[in-house]
Amino acid sequence: MADRSIFLFLILVCFLFRNPCHSETDTLQQGQELKDWDELVSSNKVFNLKLFSFGAMVSPYLGIFYKNNNNITYHHPLIYRNKAVWVANRNNPIPDMYGKLIIDVHGKFSILSSGGTVLDLFSPNPLAACNTSAKLLDTGNLVLQELHPDGSVKRVLWQSFDHPTDTLLPGMKLGINLKTGHRWSLTSWEGEMLPVRGSFTLTVTEDLNGTAQMVILKGENIDTMSGPWANGELINPNKISYGSNFRVYYVSNKTEQYFTYLTKSYDSFPALRMSESGELEDTTLHTCLFSGFTRSPGAQTKLEMFKCRDDYTFYMGLDFHFPTKNYIFVDEYEYPESHNMTLYDCKIFCWNNCSCTAYSYATKNRTGCKTYGKMLYNPAEAYQDKEYYTFRDRVKKKKKNWFGLIIGAGLLALVLSCYFLYKKLHLKGKTKKIQKLLLHQLKRLYKNEETHRNINNDLHYFTFKSILFATNNFSRTNKLGEGGFGAVYKGKLVDGQEIAVKRLSQGSGQGITEFMNETKLIAKLQHVNLVRLLGCCIEKQEKILVYEYMPNNSLDYFLFDPRKKVLLGWKDRFAIIDGISQGLVYLHKFSRLRVIHRDLKASNILLDAYKNPKISDFGMAKLFGINEDEANTSRVVGTCGYMPPEYMIGGRVSTKTDVFSFGVLMLEIVSSKMNHGSYDVEHPLNLPGLAWELWNEGRGLEFMDPILNDSCSHTEVMTCIHVGLLCVQDHATDRPTMSEVISMLTNENLHLPEPKQPAFFIERHEAQTKRDDNLGNGSVNGQSFSVLVAR
């Protein structure tokens, strides 16, 4: 009890005398220091960087953590829950309590102690004064960057993503830089609380045919193989098992060959970790990425490892050694000097090894680490001048009532089995009755429209209970996104089919009209570039639509993200442009009803497993008869930046409304820029305006995203910019039809007309005149358009 009181008192003292100037920031400026009790926190509080230990008063390591991860990483109750995703000095622990991270005047990025430099993370060569800062990003990447005098980023000097430890975060690379020879790989920790490099390494190999795969090495020998990468996936004979929260990609070009993976969000704290036992773990699901692998002989699971310590006490803050003057210690093992192990590290490793009974310094100078397998009572031969450390016995815990747990689990299994059997036997009998109910509901909604007659043949009905089961009760972890209609969730049916479930929000500005649109179109539209609606649910005041699931999310997920857009090469982008245009031609010309989408944008273009585009979200669609060309509407709906002037201002809708949206979308695909805001400091210049100015000055290729330069056809790029400008012209009559667009994109010998000034374009002299007028009036109104129902 006294020991515990001392321990708590010391913690209180450290708390009271911690750095009083601590504040949350994501940047370490040149000349500043990050010490114990300080931390860097990324801007959206996803990650934090700090000095840490496993409960000791000294913090020997610098690491990056998920900021608010309460997932239990370890099985033992005394061990910290949140494990570092990156450790800067895993092989160079700080030897005292005066550790700090600092950027000096030359831009050297170092970890220091009272005795001097522990590790230089980055050292410029030659040394020269420069303006630098370190920033922790929301991706978990710690970036050292050189700044211009105005504070903007000049270049990245160093980043933690280039030096992974045992954890791969979304966006990190696993492979090789062919120009520099630098490899990105994961190496396990030596033990649960010992970050030093362990026995297992995850890396990438590529054979003579260029086929890549991931391999786990034990030492220099291959322990596990993922299987080759082919057709956009890893072909694994051991049944590779991916977590549902991420998707793996492989990139191979002239400069790099690497695997990476992306995720929708960081809410579930995604990470792939190379464990101490040689397993690649998906920490989100607490499962192994490779299933069916062969475990190394003698490997122990974490649970087995800690079971042997049930009768001992592990004091995390202080080292206790007990009288051992009458004992000798045998079966010793001395760790190599390269491990740089302190006595604290030695204690942790001994605790994690069930065959270890005691530990000590390796030398009389109190350095290094030795562990011992046996402790024998032998006063005659015992060493009197050396200190040995062991663990204190504690009172055994009462055994749990395993019998009661087994009975409870058995009853639960029986109840679940009965439920699923009942569901299977009665579902078929209920289907026809439910479909009749659905048809009645739709008849009431459509008020005697002829289209209701065909709905029963094409629409599948889902019970609300089946939707709840498929989406895990609309779990937050299953949520894919949210729009004007409501939230969209990923689900899995009983037969294993993956689905996307769109649930009408009770507070949505949209409702019955949009639901009618979607269900009506299922009986009319069938095209490879349209998302397939599988069915719906009308029950308990719920209105739910069920679609086929698109594993690659939406186009904006890749296009406007600096990390993800590299995964869309020019061939992918050109194929996406072609697919969207084919889908629109079908809607405008070849479907049973002429359909104007009215809300065509990057977030409504979904990508399947092969990145084929699918137009989605027909809630805003306008249905025309075969002989109808245009109409007026009092309800202007859509997204600013994609709507043409005749529709946005006058409410006039036609197929040219979608042509305008397609033109904006095509310019976004070429440039990886959103048509949002202004692209000029001194005058309002939207994305089509930027393309127009560069086109007129003969600098059209500068509009293209620079990452496409090595992989694209400049002729195709210029054609896409040309056609995009034709589609966004001010007057609808000047814009081509979608059939003409396809001809322009595919016929190299076709002479294209010169584009006119795009809609909403303000010339510089006009902008200056307006600015002068505004200054004279004393006010500036930055808003020029409004939308009745924005999305």
Binding residues, by number, are: 502
C-alpha closest to that of 720 among 670, 664, 658, 661: 670
**What pairing do the DSSP bridges indicate for beta strands 460-461 and 327-334?**
unpaired
Distance of CA 340 to the CA centre of its chain: 35
Q: How far apart are CA 87 and CA 142, in angstroms?
A: 11
- Using a 10 angstrom Cβ sphere, with 0-12 exposed, 13-18 middle and 19 or more buried, the burial of residue 375 is middle
φ/ψ of residue 351, rounded to 5: -60, -40
**Angstrom distance (rounded) from CA 72 to CA 208:** 43
Tell me the C-alpha to C-alpha distance, in Å, between residue 474 and each of 118, 464, 465, 487.
Answer: 50, 11, 11, 9
Residues 6+ apart with CB under 8 A from 402: none
| Cα–Cα distance measured from residue 662 to residue 736, given in angstroms and rounded to the nearest whole number | 11
Separation of alpha carbons 199 and 280, rounded Å: 13
> In 3-state terms, the chain is what percent helix, strand and coil (to 5)?
30, 25, 45
Scanning the structure block, which residue is given the tokens 């050396």?
A: 386
Structure tokens at 779: 């006010």
Q: Tally the C-alpha atoms within 13 A of residue 245's C-alpha that lie toward its C-beta.
A: 19
Other CB atoms within 10 A of residue 582 CB: 18
Distance (Å, whole) CA 554 – CA 575: 15
Binding-site residue set for ATP:
502
The packing angle between helices 570-585 and 714-727, to 10°, is 40
Q: What is the DSSP string of 581-610?
A: HHHHHIIIIISSSEEE-S---GGGEEE-TT
Burial class (CB in 10 A: 0-12, 13-18, 19+), 506: exposed
Of 252, 706, 711, give the one whose Cα is nearest residue 260. 252
Answer yes or no: 658 catalytic. no
Contact in structure between 157 and 135 (CB atoms under 8 Å) = no
Long-range contacts of 589-595 (CB under 8 A, 24+ apart): 589/738, 589/739, 591/524, 591/525, 591/527, 592/524, 592/525, 593/524, 593/623, 593/624, 593/625, 593/626, 594/623, 594/624, 594/625, 594/626, 594/628, 594/655, 595/521, 595/525, 595/621, 595/622, 595/623, 595/624
Q: Is 340 left (phi over 0), alpha (psi -120 to 50) or beta?
A: left
CA-wise closest residue to 167 among 191, 140, 143: 140
The residue to which tokens 């991931």 are assigned: 214
Query: Which entry of 282, 599, 617, 705 is annotated as an active-site residue?
Result: 599
Between CA 221 and CA 230, with CA 224 as vertex, the angle to 5 degrees is 120
> What distances in angstroms separate CA 7 from CA 3, 54, 342, 392, 610, one per listed residue?
6, 14, 20, 16, 58
What residues act catalytically? 599
